[in-house]
Structure 1
Amino acid sequence: MRHVLSYLKPYMKWMIFAWALMLVELLVELWHPLLMEKIIDDGVMKNDLHVIWKWGAIMIATSFLAFASGIANSFVAAYVGQQYGFDLRKHLFEKIQSFSLFNFGQFSTASLITRMTNDVTQMQNMVFMSLRIMLRAPLLIIFGMVMALFVHVKLALILVIAVPLLLVFLIWMMNKAATLFSRVQQMLDRVNSIMRENIAGMRLIKAWVRSTYEQQRFTETNESLMTRTMTVLRFVETITPVLLFVMNVAIIMILFIGRNEIHAGSAKAGEVVAVINYATRMTAALSIFTFITMAFSRARASAQRIAEVLITTVDIIDEEQAEGTTIQKGEIQFDCVSFRYPESEALALQDVSFSVQAHETVAILGETGSGKSSLLQLIPRLYDVTEGTIKIDGIDIRHLKQEHLRAAIGFVPQDLLLFSGTIRDNICFGMETISSEEMIQAAKDAQIHDTIMNFSQGYDTVVGQKGVTLSGGQKQRISIARALVRKPKILLLDDSTSALDVKTEANLLQALKTYSCTTFIVTQKISTAMEADVILLLKDGQLLAKGTHKELLKTNELYRKIVQSQLGKKGLDDVETSAQYDYIERK
């Protein structure tokens, strides 16, 4: 809670101002019972109309003052709450943006969304209530007892006994409710997760006719959320009846003892009324504790969840002496690189070593799970190596600033993502310096320009969420264009041509040769690998072989099997003439 509340420091002056306004309200409320005592004892009991008018006018004037202070306090409290929520969401988003892929694995997407929305809203509500009533209520109770003791000690002792017992009860309830509300937030994460999965996978749900199943799954989770929330609310709602019962018993005792004190001459009617007035005001303040307890309990649970994100240690950070060097060539060297995913015991890559010259094209082949995507993700430091080093232009990538490293890399991941917006927005992807000519050229090289121009709005065509309105091949080519427009020194294509036909892929590979960049292509197609300068063959995280197509045909049995499975026996022939190359491409 303390870490999350530290973001209130810039608004401390406004908070002090809000509390000052609240104190004005409080002073008026504490003073009014004394004024009523004077009106009754000096005015009503003595039939002095002047005293009644005098102190009545003062009560009305101070009531207006309290009213104005309350309105101003509400405006200031709302301002601080909204600004605090804005800052909290901003810092949460910045923190999430700094996460490595390992950090993202620690939190579900639905949980992060809930923390940035619902949990932040709970903190906003708590801040608003703390400036408006959360501090006012306990102060009214404390000083109400003091003022009651000042009026009549014997009568006030009843409140002195009852109120502390109720406060102990409230503190216990608050701690219990915080734990229960934390479980409610976790269940809300689950509901959001199912909603997100359904929206993202609607095509599959429709195709498999699983709407009824998904509705049942959502209903069960939603009912669990409802049941758990109702359980907590019922628990919290028991606070008010207990408070009212105890305080009403206390008021009855004050009336009974006060009557005896008046008959004995040791108390005046105005004093009894004043003590009862303090008791009723304290009862109202204690009743507010129901809402305060609920708000504070929710906020405490939410603060813990927000703090978990804010204090998460990011495992991939720039070194203090990291170089701001810009990558010039794109030479890459893997030196005894081993890698395992965090929280996994198995090595995804084991003792991989190879070097690639600048502007070479590297094809990476291997069966599923052989480590192809893992190898690509290490180059832009989406993960850090477990052992060994990766050097670019002779510099260990851990000694480079991440911003400079990744700015020189164009990366097209296996799981494609297009953002809601136009095709233009997706290709340029926030790069305001990109001209229309550069964008169009990148699209042409990616073999998507003609397709885009066939759309009614051209580059201003709006794509659906995640590009659902486009085919797989169209999404791949737009994603490639997004990488090419950066004019990268290193281009990483993770199985990004799988949905392209042979002719389109051949044209794309030919266009890529015009770029001054080192290109890595993860592929399952031998026709694609044959166009590369170097082929890396992976199996179970190990580099089995490295060489050209002709070299691997001669030296590696596994590669020959792959070639034969795709090109037949003729693919095993020594390919020397361009005519033979053309034949294999047509196949």
Structure 2
Amino acid sequence: MRYVLSYLKSYRKWMIIAWMLMLIELFVELWHPLLMEKIIDNGVMKNDLHVIWKWGAVMVATSLLAFLSGIANSFAAAYVGQQYGFALRNALFQKVQSFSLFHFSQFPTASLITRMTNDVSQMQNMVFMSLRVMLRAPLLIIFGVVMALFVHVKLALILLIVVPASLAFLLFMMNKAAQFFTKVQHILDRVNSIMSENIAGIRLIKAWGRSLYEKRRFTETNQALMTRTMTVLRLIETITPVLLLVMNVAIVIILLIGRVEIHTGSATAGEVVAVINYTTRMTAALSIFTFVTTAFSRAKASGQRIANILTAPVDMLDKDKRDEQPVETGSIQFENVSFRYPETDVDVLRDISFSIGAHETVAILGETGSGKSSLLQLIPRLYDATDGTIKMDGIDIRQIRQERLRTAIGFVPQDILLFSGTIRDNICFGMDNVTEEEMIQAAKNAQIHDTIMSFPEGYDTMVGQKGVTLSGGQKQRISIARALVRHPKILLLDDSTSALDVQTEAQLLQGLKSYSCTTLIVTQKISTAMEADTIILLKDGKLLAHGTHEYLLRTNGLYSKLVESQLGKKGISDVKSTT
């Protein structure tokens, strides 16, 4: 919580202003009972209108001052709260951007969204209430007791018993509520998770006729959220009635004692009214604590969840000694590379070694689960190798600044993601200041330009969420164009041509040759592998073979079976006859 509140340091000036304005309100509120005492004892009881008008005017003037201070305080508190929320959301977003893929797996997407929205809102609300009433209420209670003792010690003694007991009850309830609100936020994460899954998978849900099942699943979780929230709200709602009961009993006792004191001449009517007035003001302040307790309890739970993100260690840092030279040629060397995903015990890649020359095209083949995508993800350091070294242009990639390394790479993942916006926005996403000519040329080489121009809005055609309005092949080619517009030194295509027909794929591979980059293509198609300079064959995370199509056809039985399964025996004999 302390770490999260440290983001308020930049707004200390405005916080001080808000607190000073609050102190003006507090001063007026504490002074008014004394003025009422003077009006009653020196004005009403003595029938002196001059005293009544004099001190009445002072009360009106100071009330106006408190009114203006309250408005200004609200503006200052709102400003700090909004700025604080802005800073927190920025910090959270930047922290999430620094996460490795492993860290993303530790925090579900729905939970991250909840923390950046709902949890930040709870912190904003707490800050606003802190500057507006959270500090004012306890100060009013403390100084109210002091002022009541100053007016009449015997009458105010009852407050020394009642007020501490009420505050202890409040602190107990606040800690209890904070525990409940932590559970509420976890259930809210589950609700958001189900919602995001349903929105993302609505096609599959409808196709499989699982709408009723998903409704039941959501209703159960939503019911749990409602039940847990009602439980904590019932707990919170018991605070005010208990406080009012205790304080009203105190007022009755003060009135009874005050009657005796007035009768014996030990107290005046004005003093009794002043003490009662302080008591009623403290009662109102304690009632405010109901809202304060709710806000603080929610904020305590939310602050801890936000702190878990902000203080999470970054596991993939640039080393102090970084190579600032840009990637020039794009040659790649794997030297005894092994890799296992964090918090697992099984190596998905084992002792992989090979070299790829600059501007070569390499096809990576293998069965499902052989480690093809994992190998590709190590090159831009989406993960770091567990053992061994990966070099680019002869330099260990861990010695290259991540931003510089990734700028040199065009990566098209297996799961294509297009952002909401236009086709133009999606293609130009990969690079700043892309010219119209560069965008069109990248689209042409990706074999998507003609398709785009067939749309009524051309490159300004809006893309639905995650590209839902486009076919699989269209999304793949737009994603490839997005990578090509960067003019990368290394192009990584993770099974990115699976939805293309043979002719379109052949044209695409021909278009890629116009780029002076090293290209790695994960594929299941022998026709694609045959166009590559080199083929890497993986099996169970190991490098089974490495060479040209003709070489592997002659020397590797598994590769021959793959070729035969796709091209038939005639295809093999045709290939062998040409070698």
- TM-score when scaled to structure 2? 0.99
Q: Could you say what secondary structure the match of 2:143 adopts? A: helix
Amino acid in structure 2 at the alignment position of 1:233: L
Q: Deviations over 1:409-436 (max 9, x none)?
A: 0000000000011111100116332111
Q: Deviations over 1:175-200 (max 9, x none)?
A: 11111101111111111111111111
Moved more, 134-143 or 561-570: 561-570
Amino acid in structure 2 at the alignment position of 1:178: A
Equivalent in the alignment of 1:119: 119
> Aligned equivalents of 2:272 and 2:187: distance in 1?
51
Give yes or no for the alignment of 1:397 onto 2:397. yes
Give yes or no for the alignment of 1:278 onto 2:278. yes
> Aligned equivalents of 2:392 and 2:431: distance in 1?
25
> Aligned equivalents of 1:215 and 1:223: distance in 2?
12
**Structure 2: unaligned runs, 5 residues or longer:** none
8 Å CA contact 1:412, 1:493 repeated in 2: yes
> Aligned equivalents of 1:553 and 1:107: distance in 2?
46
8 Å CA contact 1:408, 1:490 repeated in 2: yes
Equivalent in the alignment of 1:583: none
Give yes or no for the alignment of 1:446 onto 2:434. no
Amino acid in structure 2 at the alignment position of 1:512: L
Equivalent in the alignment of 1:149: 149
Give yes or no for the alignment of 1:482 onto 2:485. no
Shift of 1:324: 1.6
Equivalent in the alignment of 1:21: 21
Amino acid in structure 1 at the alignment position of 2:41: D
4+ long deviations beyond 3 Å? none
> Aligned equivalents of 1:327 and 1:158: distance in 2?
79
Give yes or no for the alignment of 1:547 onto 2:547. yes
Equivalent in the alignment of 1:557: 557
| Identity between Structure 1 and Structure 2 (%) | 77
Shift of 1:574: 6.3
Amino acid in structure 2 at the alignment position of 1:310: L
> Aligned equivalents of 2:500 and 2:377: distance in 1?
23
Equivalent in the alignment of 1:572: 572
> Aligned equivalents of 1:570 and 1:336: distance in 2?
38
Equivalent in the alignment of 1:499: 499
Shift of 1:348: 1.0
8 Å CA contact 2:262, 2:269 repeated in 1: yes
Q: Deviations over 1:321-367 (max 9, x none)?
A: 11221000011000000001011111111110000000111111111
Q: Deviations over 1:198-249 (max 9, x none)?
A: 1111111111111111111111111111111000100111111110111011
Equivalent in the alignment of 2:298: 298
Q: Deviations over 1:8-64 (max 9, x none)?
A: 111101100000000000000000000111111111111111111111111111000
Give yes or no for the alignment of 1:369 onto 2:369. yes
Equivalent in the alignment of 1:584: none
Q: Could you say what secondary structure the match of 2:215 adopts? A: helix
> Aligned equivalents of 1:246 and 1:433: distance in 2?
69
Equivalent in the alignment of 1:313: 313
Equivalent in the alignment of 1:419: 419
Equivalent in the alignment of 2:80: 80
Give yes or no for the alignment of 1:30 onto 2:30. yes
Give yes or no for the alignment of 1:91 onto 2:109. no
Amino acid in structure 2 at the alignment position of 1:359: H
Aligned ranges 1:456-475 → 2 under 5 Å: 456-475=456-475
Amino acid in structure 2 at the alignment position of 1:371: G
8 Å CA contact 1:550, 1:574 repeated in 2: no
8 Å CA contact 1:492, 1:521 repeated in 2: yes
8 Å CA contact 1:418, 1:479 repeated in 2: yes
Equivalent in the alignment of 1:191: 191
Equivalent in the alignment of 2:537: 537
> Aligned equivalents of 1:327 and 1:487: distance in 2?
12
Equivalent in the alignment of 1:167: 167
Shift of 1:373: 0.3
Equivalent in the alignment of 1:223: 223
Q: Deviations over 1:138-159 (max 9, x none)?
A: 0000000000000011111100
Shift of 1:573: 2.3
Moved more, 211-220 or 22-31: 211-220
Amino acid in structure 1 at the alignment position of 2:322: A
Equivalent in the alignment of 1:66: 66
Equivalent in the alignment of 1:585: none
Equivalent in the alignment of 1:10: 10
> Aligned equivalents of 1:577 and 1:119: distance in 2?
68
Shift of 1:161: 0.5
Q: Could you say what secondary structure the match of 1:410 adopts? A: strand
> Aligned equivalents of 2:471 and 2:514: distance in 1?
27
Give yes or no for the alignment of 1:178 onto 2:173. no
Q: CA RMSD in A?
A: 1.0
Equivalent in the alignment of 1:335: 335
Q: Could you say what secondary structure the match of 2:62 adopts? A: helix
Amino acid in structure 2 at the alignment position of 1:387: D
8 Å CA contact 2:327, 2:393 repeated in 1: yes
> Aligned equivalents of 1:540 and 1:150: distance in 2?
84
8 Å CA contact 2:430, 2:485 repeated in 1: no
Amino acid in structure 1 at the alignment position of 2:493: L
8 Å CA contact 2:431, 2:485 repeated in 1: no
Q: Could you say what secondary structure the match of 1:7 adopts? A: helix
> Aligned equivalents of 1:86 and 1:317: distance in 2?
26
8 Å CA contact 1:319, 1:399 repeated in 2: yes
Shift of 1:571: 3.0
Shift of 1:553: 1.1
> Aligned equivalents of 1:441 and 1:3: distance in 2?
49
> Aligned equivalents of 2:408 and 2:220: distance in 1?
48
8 Å CA contact 2:149, 2:156 repeated in 1: yes
8 Å CA contact 1:340, 1:386 repeated in 2: yes
Shift of 1:562: 1.1
Amino acid in structure 1 at the alignment position of 2:144: G
Equivalent in the alignment of 1:47: 47
8 Å CA contact 1:347, 1:541 repeated in 2: yes
8 Å CA contact 2:430, 2:486 repeated in 1: no
> Aligned equivalents of 1:13 and 1:502: distance in 2?
66
Q: Could you say what secondary structure the match of 1:166 adopts? A: helix
Equivalent in the alignment of 1:522: 522
> Aligned equivalents of 1:509 and 1:432: distance in 2?
25
Shift of 1:314: 1.3
> Aligned equivalents of 1:332 and 1:478: distance in 2?
26
> Aligned equivalents of 1:32 and 1:121: distance in 2?
36
Shift of 1:261: 1.0
Shift of 1:572: 2.8
Shift of 1:576: 5.5
Q: Could you say what secondary structure the match of 2:524 adopts? A: coil
Report the number of matched residues. Answer: 579
> Aligned equivalents of 2:226 and 2:378: distance in 1?
44
Q: Could you say what secondary structure the match of 1:411 adopts? A: strand
Pick closer, same or farther for the CA change 1:251–1:430 going to 2, 3 Å.
Answer: farther
Amino acid in structure 1 at the alignment position of 2:564: Q
Equivalent in the alignment of 1:256: 256
8 Å CA contact 2:15, 2:131 repeated in 1: yes
Q: Could you say what secondary structure the match of 2:575 adopts? A: coil
